[in-house]
Amino acid sequence: MAVDLLLGLQWGDEGKGKIVDVLTDNYDIIARFQGGPNAGHTLEFDGIKHVLHTIPSGIFHKNAINIVGNGVVIDPVIFKKEINNLQKFKIDFKRTLLISRKAHLILPTHRLLDAASEASKGKAKIGSTLKGIGPTYMDKTGRNGMRIGDLELDNWQEKYRALADKHESMIGFYDVDLQYDLRELESDFFSAVEDLKKLTFIDSEEYLYQAQKAGKKILAEGAQGSMLDIDFGTYPYVTSSNTTAAGACTGLGVAPSHIGKVFGIFKAYATRVGSGPFPTELFDEDGATMGRVGNEFGATTGRPRRCGWLDLVALKYAVQINGVTSLMMMKGDVLSGFKKLKICTAYQYKGETISHLPFNIEPENVTPVYTEMEGWAKDLTQMGSPDEFPKSLQAYIDFLENELQVPIQIVSVGPDRKQTIHR
Ligand code: GDP
Ligand code: IMO
Ligand code: MG
């Protein structure tokens, strides 16, 4: 049985958590393949709103198995908090939440290095969530990291000490005044590791291989979005993992020939949190309205998200890189009331009009070219079927499908599970 993928196509926060939760009814296994607690995936159902960071978004479904794959980086302290926040749901974590032995550990000193690196960059900072993501992936590719499986070894604390000591000396290289109490951070860390060890660690690539052979249905859940991909995003203003489809192969050990459907999620407009280029960003009342109506605040950091018009040049690029087979359009309800809507269909770049994503998309290099469309006044949040779509929403969808050459299978009209229209 092929493994299906679900990925964000913009700068993250497209609504992945909501849709994974909606789709979990059709799957036996949900597997996160990259990122870590920099992610914030929001789910809403039965009047409850819940934000997950490292735990896959299928966790509320009793029969689904949730796997944290080898490509994920785990902070035991945040993981413990996530588990504690879920206590009231009476979830059998030992059975339904399985962690790859090959997933890397975020140490307290990784977080400190992240903070020191960002502080030293001044205005050029990435706008990291400061969860230690960059330094942890650096240790992974630098072949210095610690993995979940190491925690099963007798000498793991020695390994920890050597790496943490090295990190402390590295912090000294940064010309910043970082205040911290490492002993206190370590006490929390060691206590959280003991809790983590009560969960089930697995050889996840083998588990997933056997599950595929047994005909289990598997959905891989991405974090962040394609424009934050370490290779294809707006480098260096990106995260430190491959957020695109290829990341699911390396982050779970699934062969490319075993990938099935690729679901790509996008907002009907665009947002970005943190620094970096964003060609269609709005600094006017329209942008403020999107932020207010869309409640655009980071689910992990609470920072306001920058808002702008849909960027079809970037979206096409993401569809292409990921091989998206069906699309999901989120938050169309937020655009209700706009008289006119704009969609960026090309960039002015070095005196030319181009429709592909160039190397540089900073404001001094690209100027968006817009197509204007009619808006819709109708409140979409109570709609139950595509028959109820206002004409101009249908025209918006038709336009995008025609440009992207991929069907829009789901239109989401509110944060709740139920506010999901299948086409
Ligand atoms: P993720 O990181 O991709 O899982 O997305 P986030 O959870 O960070 O951000 C998406 C936000 O939009 C969350 O607050 C969701 O509850 C909310 N949301 C998801 N879909 C919709 C929708 O169709 N309409 C509205 N208004 N909100 C939505
Ligand atoms: P989800 O999964 C939106 C952004 C940060 C910053 C950059 C690097 O919820 O969509 P990092 O902490 O990885 O060093 O930050 O990436 N970023 C996200 N933006 N959604 C996310 O995850 C993000 N994870 C990281 O704001 O600009
Ligand atoms: Mg998010």
Indicate the pLDDT class of residue 314, thresholds 50, 70 and 90.
very high
Give the residue, out of 46, 330, 381, 411, with the most ligand 1 atoms within 8 A of its beta carbon, to mutate for a pocket test: 330
For position 31, what pLDDT does the model report? 98
For position 300, what pLDDT does the model report? 86
Indicate the pLDDT class of residue 247, thresholds 50, 70 and 90.
very high
Q: Whose CA is nearest to atom 11 of ligand 2?
A: 128
- Determine if ligand 2 sits within 6 Å of the CB of residue 13: yes
Q: Whose CA is nearest to atom 13 of ligand 1?
A: 42
Q: Cβ contacts of residue 371 below 8 Å, gap of 6+?
A: 342, 343, 345, 399
Q: Whose CA is nearest to atom 28 of ligand 1?
A: 415
User: How is residue 367 written in tokens?
Assistant: 């100027």
- The ligand 1 site (C-beta within 6 Å) comprises 8, 12-18, 39-42, 44, 294-295, 299, 330-331, 333-334, 412-415
Helix 76-85 to helix 182-196 angle (10° resolution) is: 60
Give the atom of ligand 1 at the shortest distance from the alpha carbon of 42.
Answer: 7
88-117 residue pLDDT tens: 999 999 999 999 999 999 999 999 999 999
Q: Whose CA is nearest to atom 16 of ligand 1?
A: 415
Active site residues: 13, 41
Which one-letter amino acid corresponds to residue 419? Q
User: How is residue 389 written in tokens?
Assistant: 């779509």
Across-strand partners of 330? 267
Ligand 2 centroid, distance to 62 Cα (angstroms): 29
Ligand 3 centroid, distance to 396 Cα (angstroms): 25
Share of the chain above pLDDT 70, in %: 100
**Is 90 exceeded by the pLDDT of residue 332?**
yes
For position 65, what pLDDT does the model report? 98
For position 113, what pLDDT does the model report? 98
Q: Is the pTM of this model over 0.85?
A: yes
User: How is residue 366 written in tokens?
Assistant: 């690209």
First to last CA, the chain: 24
Q: Give the other-Cβ count within 10 Å of 173's Cβ.
A: 10
Q: Is 170 exposed, middle or buried (0-12, 13-18, 19+ CB in 10 A)?
A: middle
Give the atom of ligand 1 at the shortest distance from the alpha carbon of 295.
Answer: 14
Give the residue, out of 11, 13, 14, 18, with the most ligand 1 atoms within 8 A of its beta carbon, to mutate for a pocket test: 18
Taking alpha carbons only, the member of 112, 108, 131 closest to residue 186 is 108
Give the atom of ligand 1 at the shortest distance from the alpha carbon of 8.
Answer: 3
Q: Which ligand is nearest to the CA of 14?
A: 1
- The answer to whether residues 274 and 233 touch, using CB atoms and an 8 Å cutoff, is no
d(CA 8, CA 163): 33
The mean of the pLDDT values for the chain is 97
182-218 residue pLDDT tens: 999 999 999 999 999 999 999 999 999 999 999 999 9
Ligand 3 centroid, distance to 300 Cα (angstroms): 7
42-67 residue pLDDT tens: 999 999 999 999 999 999 999 999 99
For position 299, what pLDDT does the model report? 86
Ligand 1 centroid, distance to 154 Cα (angstroms): 43
Give the atom of ligand 2 at the shortest distance from the alpha carbon of 130.
Answer: 12
Ligand 2 centroid, distance to 208 Cα (angstroms): 27
For position 1, what pLDDT does the model report? 85
Q: Is 242 exposed, middle or buried (0-12, 13-18, 19+ CB in 10 A)?
A: buried
Ligand 1 centroid, distance to 265 Cα (angstroms): 11
Give the atom of ligand 2 at the shortest distance from the alpha carbon of 276.
Answer: 27
